[in-house]
Each structure stands twice: as structure tokens, then as C-alpha cells.
């Protein structure tokens, strides 16, 4: 049996944490959800995660700070940012900093699928 890749979702929005992992599983991945960047960092899932989907703005540590922390720790995980801020400048900055994708909420299943496939191909 082939082992399914783990996608971790970090978002303070409960509805995202409940629905997005189900969709990711339907796409053939394993999925876990965390309500904060700090909760993700404290988990044992950091080293097992093959793709990180993270909200840009959250209380406490935001998505960019989480990615910076991971890099400082020497952990390289393909990142897909999700955000309600529909700024093309922010998207360009995140992509320029190495993100695989930046999806504006609400995003389609197809956009998510494309981003995940891109992330997996980059690994």
C-alpha cells in the first residue's frame, strides 16, 4: 500500500480547519489541521509534513512568521498561503519569497488541487 503524503493546514478559522482537511483527503492526501502556528510548531507533524497550507494572518504568529521560523530551524516544506486579502502585491511577494502558491479565499477545489500537485512535484 502506498503511503499518502501529509498536508498540514494551519488556520485560526474553525470552518476552514473542519472542511479543508476533508477536501484534501478526497484528493488522495493525509491531512491534519492546527488552530495556530504555535500548535503546529509544537506538534510532531512538522517533520512529517510534505506540504503546509497556512493562513497569512492569524492571532499570534502569522503564516509568514511561521515559515520564517521553519526556515531558521532548517525545515523546508513547500508552502501554500491562503488569505482573504485579495492583494496581488501580497501574492507576488509571497511567491517571490518561495511560496508554491497564494490562494485567495474563497478558492476553488481546482485551485487547491493545482497548488497541492505543484507542491508535491517540487519536493
Proportion of the chain above pLDDT 90, given as a percent: 93
Give yes or no for residue 31 having a pLDDT over 50. yes
Cα distance between residue 44 and residue 58, in whole Å: 21
- Grade residue 123 by pLDDT with cuts at 50, 70 and 90: low
pLDDT at 4: 87
H helices of the chain, where? Answer: 14-26, 37-42, 63-72, 88-96, 109-122
Q: What is the pTM of this model?
A: 0.95
Question: What residue has cell string 530551524?
Answer: 73
Give pLDDT tens digits for 51-99.
999 999 999 999 999 999 999 999 999 999 999 999 999 999 999 999 9
Domain 6-122 grouped into CATH 3.40.50.720: no
Amino acid at each position: 500500500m502506498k503511503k499518502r503524503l501529509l498536508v498540514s493546514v494551519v488556520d485560526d478559522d474553525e470552518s476552514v480547519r473542519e472542511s479543508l482537511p476533508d477536501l484534501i483527503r478526497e484528493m488522495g492526501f493525509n491531512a491534519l489541521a492546527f488552530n495556530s502556528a504555535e500548535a503546529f510548531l509544537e506538534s510532531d507533524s512538522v517533520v512529517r509534513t510534505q506540504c503546509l497550507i497556512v493562513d497569512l494572518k492569524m492571532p499570534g504568529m502569522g503564516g509568514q512568521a511561521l515559515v520564517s521560523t521553519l526556515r531558521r530551524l532548517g525545515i523546508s516544506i513547500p508552502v501554500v498561503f491562503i488569505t482573504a486579502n485579495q492583494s496581488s502585491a501580497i501574492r507576488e511577494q509571497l511567491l517571490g519569497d518561495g511560496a508554491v502558491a497564494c490562494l485567495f479565499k474563497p478558492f476553488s477545489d481546482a485551485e487547491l488541487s493545482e497548488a497541492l500537485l505543484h507542491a508535491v512535484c517540487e519536493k
